[in-house]
Each structure stands twice: as C-alpha cells, then as structure tokens.
Structure 1
C-alpha cells in the first residue's frame, strides 16, 4: 500500500499531519486537499486538542509546485484554501519546520498559530526570483509579523534566513534541539488550551513610509522591466493600510497578474532550464564520480587566478603553477588584493581571507602537481602551447587525475590527443572573472568518459556555479554565438550606426553591456588573436574589419585606456574621435553611404544573429537543448533573466516573425529555424521532443 500524501497519526491529544511528497514536499495537486481534509478531521475529533504540521523526509514544505504555474487556473492547486482551513481551525496548529520552509511552505507556517523549528532550518519567500510574489497571504502575514522594513528585505531579495534569525524576529516561537517532532508535540500540548489563538492576520502592521520610499527608489534603479518587486512593495504598504481580507484580495490579483506576465514566464523558463542542464545523455545518478581533494591550476594570469579562487572559496586546496617567478608573484598579488577588497567590503572576515589563502600553494615546480586530482590548464590561447602543456601534464599527473583545458575556442579533441588518456580530458571553460561568473561550459570531447563528465557536473555545483555540457566546435556555444554577434555589430557600424548607438540598443533591451563595451572590457587583442589564428589555419586573407584596425592602432580596450572608446578616467568610456575617423575611412574605402539605423533594427539584428547561430548549434548537437543555450547566455553573458535567454525571447516573438526578419535582412536562415517556424513550433517544443536531451 502506497504512503498517503499526508499521513495522519496521533500522539496523545495531538494530531500529527505529515506531508510525504518527495523529494521536497512541494504543494503539488493532492497535497492541499489532503492537508485540508486532515485539519477538518482533527477539528471534528473531540479527542484531538492540537495539531502539528510536519514534513516527512529531509524538509518541511519547500514551496508551491512551479510546474503547475502554466496550467489553467482551475487546475492549479488551491494553496490559499489551506490558509483558509488554518484560519478556520478552532484548535491550535503548530508548524514544525526543518530543512526548508520556502514560498508556499512558509505561507502555510505563517497561517499556522505557532511555529517551532530545528536550529538549522531555513525560512524564506523566494517567489520574486521567478517573477512572482507570495500569493496565499504571505505578503500580509509577513509584514504583520516582522514589520515593513524586514518584510521588504526578505521578499525583495528572495533569500532565506536561518531559524535562529527567524526566532529573533518573532517568526519562530521556539527552537527545538534534538527530536523536532517530539519537541513540536510537547509544545502543542503546552499551548493546547491557550485562547484566543494567535493569528497573524489579526495583528496590525505599523506604517513605515521611509522604508517603502527607499525600496521604491532602489527598484527604480535596479528592477526596471520587472513587475513583481513593485507589486511586493505595494502589497507591504497595503498591509499597513488595509484590513487583512482586503489586502489578501489585492495580493491574489497581483499574484495572478505577475504569474501571467512575460517576465515571470521567462524566469520560470530559466528555472527549469537550469535544472534540465544537469541531465546529460549517458550520465545518470548511477554514474560514479571521482573524488577531487586537490586541484592544480597551470597559469597564474587573470583566468588562472580566478579559477584558483573559485576552488579556494569552496574549500578545495589549490596548487598554482607558473613558469615565471614574476608572473607567479603578480598572480598571487591579484588574488590577495581580491580577497582583501572583499574583506574591506565586509563580505569576508580576516580569518576567512587567511583560511582561503592558506589553501593556496604557489609553485614554479611542475612536479608539485603530481598529487592533484584535477589539473586545469589556463595558459595562452594557442593550440601548440596547449598541446605541449598537456603532453607534460600527461607525464606527471597521477593515474585517474582529470586533465581540463580552459580554452574558450580551441578543439578539445586535438588537445586530448596530445595525451595517452583522452578519456580523462575535457574542457572546463570558466568565464571571466572566473571567481565571480557562475557559468562553466563543460566541453565533452569525443572520448571524454561519463565518469569524468559526472565529476565535472558535481564539481561545478560544489563551486556554486552552473555547469552546462556542450560539444566541441570552434567557440563551443557561447563564444561561437558571440563571434557572430560581434561581426554583426561591426556591420551595423559600417552601415551607419555609431558604436554607442549599438551598445545603447542592448542597454535598452536589458543587457549590462553592448558588444563594443564588452570587447573593451575583455581586451580587444584577445578577439584579434583568435581571428588572426583562424585566418592562418584556413589560409584566408588577414582579417581587416573595424576591430582589427582599432587593435592595430594599439587600442586594446580598457587596459590601454583606448579601445572602441576612450577611457580618460577609469572604466567610463567616451566616444573616440580617432575611432570615428577610422569608421569614416572604412566606409569610404568600401563605398558605403552611411544611413540612419533605428534602435529596433539594431536590436533585432544583434539578437537574431544569436538566434540563427544557436539554431545551427542545436541542429549540430553541440548543445542538447535550447534551454541549455539560454542558461549559457544568462550566466555567461548577462542576458536579462526577465527575457529568458535568446531562444526563449525568439519563441515569445514568434519564430515565424523571427524568420521573416532574418530573410528581410538578407541572411541565410538556419534549417532548424525554418523547420520550426514552418511547423508553427518553438524552441521549447524542440526541447520537449527530447531529441537530444
């Protein structure tokens, strides 16, 4: 006999209702109805004096079921009905919290009369991260429980707090060491006869106009294009001005508005796409992984130092190898400076800085890498250099050690062929700055073993990063698309747009940087070297586009205070007269009469360049899913989360419309894009078919 979704047991005069909906007890269909039935039965049973709500397994209730949010309204679980049942209970209800009480789970706890918790429990209302807001009384009860300022902080950040902090705020009535259920039952017996029952809905919330004004001002700066944060502020203010029932009605209206908004759909798409990215063909839960106790990093430059910090931050000891003593010292100085800056900002304590630096072993001796379980190469982006490095690593690394390259464009199979263990070789393409950016492209070579891939996926999660498995091609996924994007940006300028107009169009769309600003920040010489190398391999003429000419004038970006823009003071770029002259000369040389390009055309051409290249990548199988590409662009390139990624954005526009624009621009559309558009399908449909998942 299968276990019921909500188990009903009794301990003396206390009825215990335990949710069993693994793995995290979300409020999916059937759970609300079972909880309500259990509450009604307990209230009708004269032998029951109090009720305890508990979560079976590793957590209380981790929230509503996000998979149901796209269902018709009549099919969505009625979470507010649970709150109504709790409000109607004439017997005290004690929520026993362990693991996580998030979203709808915390709303259930807030609607209960009392809350007890294990000391390591986490409580939070993270709905804003999905473009939503608490929709079952959470905005109204939390404001009454902790006040306007803290309620705004908790709901606008979406970050959970620990049970001890929650107890200090009055959200938790008692912390229970040891057996939580036994403690909750004992607490319920103590309060069984107390009347009146404490209900947060009956409390008054004091107005705090200063906190509300400050929150609105902050949102005007950082949350343009998003609905739910502004709704949350409105609802917190309403909790201080309106009766509870009126506030909850407004909350439900705003929840439904937010749920149906494009922003929430995009954020929910990314939420599920990120989780789907961890599902890799040929790698399952049963696939063994290797222990990574020590990591070696070859190269102490910007990337090598950032990669080393990523592991140090996760508690993994690192041996950092350089061939030159000066370069090693410069790399160490940068790592120390980064940690000291974090300490000055209060993000790390002095003890934490010392502990992280204590895990770092700098060396000039290659043999020091012999005991590393994983060695990551982060040297100059040159195939011959990398093959030489891997040949040496192959000779000194211990059996079973994983050898990884941080290359952003080069053929991982060719690099692996320089070793006697290609099954242990893969790409780990960190994005700069590696200690900050969340994305790692995990590049699967032809002979990379499933065990090595599984280890890499587990390891990126341990680092707090998002790992996406991709195949081998020039630039993999992210950089292959960005190279096409930058080429189109140059064409736009050649046709008549100014660089700042191109970048401005991307700002207006929601990206933090446009293509030219991005190039200046990364260093224009990097792309220049890649283009020159490709042309040499292909036997093609030397590249001679706008960015090539800029670099050949010694303008390499922010590091030389001159790139596409001039940098007279710090990192703020200003239009350059020298570059304007180069643009004029290029147009004249190529017989181009400049025209005015509107922001809409600039935006579409840049975005649809990404979409068209991504469609080719999908068809080639370099990426398994459209969602994987969206995740790469969110975490690697700052694509606005509320747009959902380039391919989700294309779905929203309609692939027929995207295809029509691509043809109007005179481009050759990707065959997959044509097929999907002609069939009236989307990239999401491609993912659902599971052809390559």
Structure 2
C-alpha cells in the first residue's frame, strides 16, 4: 500500500488518512493507495465502514499538476471513484480545507459527506478548458438539481460549506477535528443502521431546456466552449442510464482535451504560476514593507491605496490640499464599502482601516518613515520629476521610490534622485484594487532587492506581477499602441470602429478597442498622441477624428459620449453618429478610397500587429519570456484566457502563416509591418514561442 495513505482502524471503522502534503493532490500514488486501502478495508474482518480524511491543509485540492500533459497512469480517477462508490461498506468523506475538482468527485463517490465550517468545494475544470471527468457531471446534479449543479461547474467557483450543505452536496457541517468528526459521524450512521448510499443510485434530476441553456452559457463565456459542454454532459445524466452518462461525460472530456482552447487554458494556468518566478531573484531577500505612501488620490491613487489597505498595510496618502485629500478619502471609502458589501472585510476591519491604517496628509515631510512610496500623479515627466525630488529629500535611506507611470522612462525619473538603485516602476491597472496585473518595471540601476520587493508587494496585494524593462509603454501599453495603430489604419482604409469592436468581441475580448478607449477615457490617448507628435513620432497617415472628439469635450463614458453615445447608460452603448463623418473627412483629406473588411480580416490584422510587436518586445528583452507577454495581455488588457495569450495563440495558429501575412501587409506599409527578427528566427528554426518559455 502506498505510503501516501495511512491505514488505521477504530472499532468497526477503517480510516484511510491521506498524507500527500501540502494539499493532498490526487497523484498516482494517492490514487493507488486509496484503491489498496479500500481493498484492505473490505478484507478486514469486522470492518463495516470506511472513513477517508486528509491530513494537513486540505481533503484533496484536486489533480496533481505535475502529471498534466503526461500519459495517465492507473488507477485512473474515474475508475477509483466508481470503485469507492461500489463498496459494500459504508464510506464517509470528512472534508476540510478545499475539495476541488477530482477531490470533490472522490467525495461524491463516497456515500456520506461531513465538513468543517471553513471547508470549500468546487469543480474548477472549466478553467483548464475541460469539464469534470470523473463522474462530477453525473453525480452532482443528482444532489443539487440541474441549475445549481451547472452553476457550480460552469463558473468553477469555490463554495463554502454552509452553501454546499444547503445545496445537498454536504450532509453535515460540524466544527472540530476532521478525523474525530468523521469517526463520530460514521459511528452514528452505523448505530442508526445506515448502509451504503451511492449517489449513482439516486434518481436523476428534472430536465431543463438544454439547447437554451447551452446557448446562454456559450454566450456568457464569450466563446469559451467547456462551460457550455457541461450542459451536454449533465443532459446525459438526466436522459441516459448512469453508466451511459459516464461514457458520454468521458467522451466530451476527451474531445475537450483535443481542443485549442484546452491548450490555451493549460498554458495560462502554468504561466500564471511561473510569471513571478524569476531566476535573477533566486536567493534575493526583499526589503521589509509595512508602511507605504501613495502620492495622488485620484482614481488610480485611491485604488492603489485601497489595495494596500486591504492587504493590511498602513498607508499615508498625500494630496496637495485638504479639499483634495477629503475627495481622495471619499474615493477610498467608496472602494472599501464595496469590499465590505462583498464580505472581503468585516465591519470592524472597515472601521480600523479608515480610523487607524489610513492617514490623509498634505506635506511631504510626513513621509519620512515610510518603507515604500508609489507616485500616482499626472502622466507628465516634469511633474513626476518634481515629485521624486521631494521624495528623495524626505524619505529615509532604503525607502523604495516607485512610479505608477504607464509610459514614461523610469531611468530618466530615477536619474533625478540621489538613489537610482531604489527606484522602480509599479504600473497598476485601473481600478487598481480590482485589476490583477502589476508591471514591475526594472530600471538600469534598480537594485535586485528592490525588484524583489516589488514582486513581494505584488504578491501581498494579490496581483499577477510581470517583470518589464524600460521602453515607451513597457510591455502592455507598447503592444497596445501598436495594435491600436493597426485598428486605426483599418479605419482609414474602410473599416468602422463598430466593425472592429464587433470582430474582436467575437474573438473573445469582453470589449473591442474603441469601447475600451471610451471606458478608459479618450483624453489618455489624446495626451499620448500629442506627446508623440511633439517628439516627432506622428504616424505617416495622421488621422484627426479622435482628436476632434476630445476637442469637443467627448472623452467617452465619463462625459457620456465618445465613439459611442451613452445617453441610455454605460451598458447601452450606441454608435455616436458624429464619428463616421469625421472619419470620412480624414479619408478624403488623405486621399484614401475605402474598402470593405470582413471580421476575419479585421481579427487577423489586429492579432498580427499584436504578435509582431510582442515578438519585438521579447526579442529586445523588455519581456524576458513570451509567457510574460501572455500574462500581461490576459490580466491587464482583456485578452480571452481560453486562447492563452497572443503568443500562445500565435503558436496554435502557426507562426509561418502569420509571418507570411505580416510580410504581405508590409508591401503597403513596410515601416509599421516590419517583421520582428525573433519571429523570423523562430520560423527559420521551426520553433515556437513556447520553446523559449521552456528555457526559463
């Protein structure tokens, strides 16, 4: 019997204790140990019940990720779950920590389930482009009904013990030691004369309108197919005998395993865990950070302060006047009210944050003892230099000075201080207390322990932190500027902003680029265009329609009109009728005869521009690995997760045909469409972007 499972006995109850730290992943050794343990219990004279319980932090956190991508080894999980359920002995699962994916499926294969109040359950396989493949789609609806079961499967969310009890997933919720709870519950069941109670023998739930549910879930997932296919698997649980339903589930699982979406989501899963793991920081200790300052209390600064406060940090927020400070406090209070409403913090924590952890100040001299400062003022180099000069004057030695700049040169900012080694960029995304991405921008003179501190802070704030080098826009905004230019070119050549948004939303983006621009504020892009023109970097075909919108005071959602008219509310966007005439005037001025673009061509050009610039970013070392680009676009720019990121998408569709497309576009605009040297090199060597990820 595997050393991952300890066999013991108390009276008539055999106890199988799982010992596979840290989270009892369902490795081959664990599966084999459970199977052997069931055999031993059934052969053990006098045993009438089996208790399965985990040591450490969890019952079972799910599959062993080290086995992903490898040939499956017996005993396979579906067979193990069926084997547990078929036991003539009464089988109890005692659950604590998390029981996710295969872990919940094992529990569903047991006859009874007890859990401590802090336990959580879930079936998150959709986040890997799959569905529960060990009977979860067949057993869970028999306990919960179809609609509640589909909600569990299609969202992949974790469910607390009390709600799981209300849904019928858990039979008893009881405080105490999981092992003691399980023994007592099993003994009580035996004393009451209870016997095995396989879920598979329960009647199937009532049917629903399967086609309508499939279509609705597919639309909600913006093209992700695995949640919708949960509907078909659950349909089989209702319409077929249990054994036939299991076969249908397994076939759908196998079919999903072959999809591009599964490739993309597995890539995203592993890349999310690898992106902060930088060889250059191995063994480098971050500096201690307990108390930070935020300069500027606008939307971004208030969001950064909120994120820091929610993570337990003390925050000084500096504004230039008491009135501005009170406005900043109001923004933070609004953010915290949302956290309180969602149960992220208690009322006592809310009160302590506002009365103790947060302090609004108006003098730089009050920042003398903070460990780290994040500047979040207007995106203007002269303004930022003035701020950093003051910070350099007042902050203690060893304090880290960070800029939240979206585009500007961190090296130039650092050079204005006497401590460039202590300066880095921490580029948050708005709203900063919600958005997951943090670009940690490393300057030429940034000390390794300062970089390490940036990553440690990102982890504390629950961010996905990506290392970026210094260039205009770093990783994300540099690539954004390029694919937005491609979109702008297509508009001049004949597409409309509305065609482009529709095509990209069909691809899987939550919003197209022009709807996003309206949401972010058109004045941001206007400021960048004016700066680039002043620097002599205006595009060859310089359109004016976006500038005219801003000159007329139309900055998008915040003013009620931009590319779209929001008179009926932010979600009821309709095309602004003033936009197309402005575009037509630009075409006429530039002598352009417009042509038609279909959605496939729009998407291909847009994605080709994104991939080509991303390849340049990796080739220049601004991003160390392709996966850094993928995580930046996934978590900061709405790239559909099921496609894995732009460079994973490029690998899937093929680098050579993509390069050929780029070369064909270059015939009309050789400067903009100049192929990335790295992309040409990979095609010549018959390699992929993922080959570079594997180098570390």
Structure 2 residue aligned with 1:446, among 444, 447, 454? Answer: 444
Summarize deviations over 1:532-574 as a string: whole Å, max 9, x none: 3344446889994333454445543333444344554443554
CA contact (8 A) 2:494 2:595 kept: yes
Aligned-residue CA RMSD (Å) = 3.0
Summarize deviations over 1:303-322 as a string: whole Å, max 9, x none: 11221222233343322211
| 1:582 CA displacement | 3.1
CA contact (8 A) 1:531 1:543 kept: no
2:372 maps to what in 1? 374
CA distance in 2, matches of 1:645, 1:63: 25
| 1:424 CA displacement | 2.7
- Counterparts of 1:287-436 in structure 2, within 5 Å, are 287-339=284-336, 354=351, 356-358=353-355, 359-436=357-434
Report the CA distance shift for 1:202/1:562 in structure 2 as closer, same or farther (over 3 A).
closer
Report the CA distance shift for 1:30/1:444 in structure 2 as closer, same or farther (over 3 A).
same
| 1:642 CA displacement | 1.7
Report the CA distance shift for 1:478/1:196 in structure 2 as closer, same or farther (over 3 A).
same
CA contact (8 A) 2:563 2:576 kept: yes
CA contact (8 A) 1:69 1:259 kept: no
Q: Which secondary structure state, in structure 1, belongs to the residue aligned with residue 223 of structure 2?
A: coil
Gaps of 5+ in 1: none
CA distance in 2, matches of 1:533, 1:19: 61
CA distance in 1, matches of 2:233, 2:2: 39
1:36 maps to what in 2? 35
CA distance in 2, matches of 1:208, 1:37: 38
CA distance in 2, matches of 1:585, 1:176: 71
Report the CA distance shift for 1:658/1:179 in structure 2 as closer, same or farther (over 3 A).
same
CA contact (8 A) 1:166 1:172 kept: yes
Summarize deviations over 1:331-375 as a string: whole Å, max 9, x none: 333344455577789988876755554443222222332333321
For normalisation by structure 1, the TM-score amounts to 0.91
Q: Does 1:682 align with 2:688?
A: yes
Structure 2 residue aligned with 1:145, among 143, 161, 166? Answer: 143
2:596 maps to what in 1? 596
CA contact (8 A) 2:293 2:317 kept: yes
1:19 maps to what in 2? 18
Structure 2 residue aligned with 1:127, among 125, 132, 154? Answer: 125
CA distance in 2, matches of 1:8, 1:87: 19
1:502 maps to what in 2? 500
For normalisation by structure 2, the TM-score amounts to 0.90
Summarize deviations over 1:281-306 as a string: whole Å, max 9, x none: 2223x543344333211001121122
Using the TM superposition, name which of 558-567 and 511-520 deviates more: 558-567
Report the CA distance shift for 1:302/1:138 in structure 2 as closer, same or farther (over 3 A).
same
2:670 maps to what in 1? none
Report the CA distance shift for 1:221/1:351 in structure 2 as closer, same or farther (over 3 A).
farther
| 1:653 CA displacement | 0.7
Q: How many residues matched?
A: 686
2:585 maps to what in 1? 585
Q: Which secondary structure state, in structure 1, belongs to the residue aligned with residue 94 of structure 2?
A: strand
- Counterparts of 1:617-628 in structure 2, within 5 Å, are 617-628=617-628
Using the TM superposition, name which of 225-234 and 269-278 deviates more: 225-234
2:519 maps to what in 1? 521
Using the TM superposition, name which of 575-584 and 459-468 deviates more: 575-584
CA distance in 2, matches of 1:328, 1:484: 37
CA contact (8 A) 2:218 2:225 kept: no
CA contact (8 A) 1:320 1:363 kept: yes
1:637 maps to what in 2? 637
CA distance in 2, matches of 1:603, 1:216: 26
- Counterparts of 1:162-181 in structure 2, within 5 Å, are 162-181=160-179
Report the CA distance shift for 1:463/1:551 in structure 2 as closer, same or farther (over 3 A).
same
CA distance in 2, matches of 1:684, 1:106: 32
